Amino acid sequence: MRHARSGTLALAGALLATGCLQEAQPDYSGVFTGAQGEWVELGHAFGPSTIYWPTDTLGFQLTELAYGHTEGGYFYASYSFASAEHGGTHLDAPIHFAEARLTTDQIPLSSLITTASVVDVSASADADPDYLLSADDLVAWEAEHGRIADGTALLVRTGWSSRWNDRTAYLGTSMTGPESVPELHFPGIGTDAAQWLVDNRDIAAIGIDTPSIDYGQSSDYRSHVILYSDNIVGFENLTNLDRLPATGAGIVALPLKIEGGSGGPLRIVGWVPGG
């Protein structure tokens, strides 16, 4: 995997730049105490209101197995849960849309713990719910912020996460079931942008604050296919991307490690240098 090592090196470089690491005597404490930066939640919690693809009508299910004080005198709580891999804030493993590519458990940590760059197209998405991130957007972003680093996670901010508490506004439809899919409206990543990234850059992961890498009106999910065929990892239904800078942040994105899985529920956080 061509970017497997570069992402780790890039994140190490970012930590060195903030003084969190010293070549002679590594000191990571400032990263974890908050003294050298801020940790930011980039995902939504899972619960009864979690948004799933409209063909998945079961959603997230949490079943109480035990709750209360026991005969032994101690309190005890236990639940079982059920969830599709691709609902709420979740990871797409490349095999989700690309045969013989990485499954969830095969994804290297260097694709999940790495530096992050944020491309903000929220103004365009606010004007057009079907907006597509374009190759021109990426070229313009690089003209302002510099080349997208090898091994980084490229996060696309559309501002759509502000609609999370309104399912209809977030998906573009209140319908459920197969007939709802043609009615979806939310921004995504254009196929020209996806192809440009594969042909010209070496990113480890791609993320977005909408339900899908492809926009709502997609019928062939071509951006998924292009990106995942290159073993690029996907993050969907992100939030708080406005709290990350365009460059210089890091992410830790650890999904449920499902053997042979095509994705999974994701706890993802960002790290913003500072302090």
Q: Which residues are catalytic?
A: 96
Residue type, 40: V
Residue type, 52: Y
Tokens representing 203 are 């990113």
Return the closest-CA partner of residue 250 out of 149, 161, 167, 100. 149
In this structure, what are the phi and psi dihedrals at residue 228, rounded to the nearest 5 degrees?
Answer: -75, -25
Specify whether the CB–CB gap between 162 and 209 falls below 8 A.
Answer: no
Tokens representing 236 are 């969907």
Residues of the chain by 3-state class (helix, strand, coil), percent to 5: 30, 25, 45
Q: Tell me the C-alpha distance between 24 and 185, whole Å.
A: 52
Distance of CA 88 to the CA centre of its chain: 11
Q: Tell me the C-alpha distance between 101 and 198, whole Å.
A: 15
Could you give the C-alpha distances from 79 to 8, 69, 70, 143, in angstroms and in order? Answer: 36, 15, 16, 50
